Amino acid sequence: MKKTIILVLLFMAGTVFCQKPAYVIYNPKGKKVSYKKMIKNLVEKDIVLFGELHNNPISHWLQYEVTSDMNNQRNLILGAEMFEADNQLVLNEYLTGSITNKELDSLARLWPNYKTDYAPLVDFAKNNQLPFVATNIPRRYANMVFKKGFEALDSLSTKKKEYIAPLPIPFDSELSTYKNILVMMGEHGSPKLVKAQAIKDATMAHFILKNYVEDNLFIHYNGAYHSDNYEGILWYLKRERTDLKYSTITTVSQENINKLLKENPDFIICVDSNMTNTY
């Protein structure tokens, strides 16, 4: 009997050690960190920016898991780049049950991968009676900046300006993430494209702070580039509220997840590049 138990335990141990992980979490120094330790750190913050790869299922699964686990410990406010500020009323109506999921789909400008990747988060907010903030600038206004620069926004009515960060927004073209956009986009890049990115960052930061409530934890879901390197959204947040405690999560994709190729604060979710995409 004792021999049988030992063989079973050895088999179970072998099974665990033979498993191939889909992701590894790292700290800024490239050291592996447990999920539990990451949660322990995040739960002490005021605002967490969860940077995703939009089509990565591990990003979306961990967003849900982190949100669920944090909800057991803190009062949460949720928010996302994937909802534009002028859709807040419609989103609120869905959260309170005034409209159906089908009506939300027809009234709001939902992303194509909403049903698979973001509906679980919105429904979590609905089921747990949590606020969910639409933080992004309406895309038509970001497109105006892309075509004509920040000056194009001056022509908007007072009502329309309620959906963007207060003008004029501060802007630093020397931030590394903005400079890298020009490098990555090559001949398709332009200073106005960088400004379109900046107005998104500024607007998301604006609505995060506008809806932040003291002693709550605000979790914001956004593309990783919007909060990498302590820049983007976080740069604008810190200009307004240096007293709050922030943390960022980013997601990267690598062939070998056992050694981080590029360091990035505060937590890096390193996903196997063979992972199936959601679109």
Please give the domain boundaries of the chain with CATH numbers for all domains. Answer: 18-272 (3.40.50.11550)
* Tens-place pLDDT, residues 11-47: 444 444 557 899 999 999 999 999 999 999 999 999 9
Among the listed residues 234, 228, 233, 275, the one whose alpha carbon sits nearest the alpha carbon of residue 251: 228
Tell me the three state secondary structure of residue 174.
coil
Residue 164: burial class (beta carbons within 10 Å; 0-12, 13-18, 19+): buried
Q: Find the mean pLDDT for residues 124-150.
A: 98
Cis bond upstream, residue 168 (ω within 30):
yes
Residues 271 and 63: beta-carbon distance below 8 Å: no
Distance between CA 52 and CA 23 in Å, rounded? 13
Tell me the three state secondary structure of residue 32.
strand
* Tens-place pLDDT, residues 212-269: 999 999 999 999 999 999 999 999 999 999 999 999 999 999 999 999 998 777 999 9
Distance of CA 132 to the CA centre of its chain: 13
Residues 87 and 103: beta-carbon distance below 8 Å: no
Q: Find the mean pLDDT for residues 107-129.
A: 97
* Tens-place pLDDT, residues 62-88: 999 999 999 999 999 999 999 999 999
pLDDT band at 8 (very low <50, low <70, confident <90, very high): very low
Sign of the Cα pseudo-torsion (231, 233, 236, 238, in order): negative
Residue with tokens 């009676």: 129
pLDDT score, position 20: 83
* Tens-place pLDDT, residues 176-196: 999 999 888 766 678 999 999
Residue with tokens 């959204």: 233
Phi, psi of 7, rounded to the nearest 5 degrees: -65, -40
Tell me the three state secondary structure of residue 144.
helix
Give me the count of residues in the chain. 279
Residues 223 and 49: beta-carbon distance below 8 Å: no
This prediction's pTM: 0.92
Among the listed residues 135, 130, 125, 132, the one whose alpha carbon sits nearest the alpha carbon of residue 237: 135
> Residue 207 is encoded by which pair of tokens?
């609505």
Tell me the three state secondary structure of residue 181.
helix
Residue 127: burial class (beta carbons within 10 Å; 0-12, 13-18, 19+): exposed
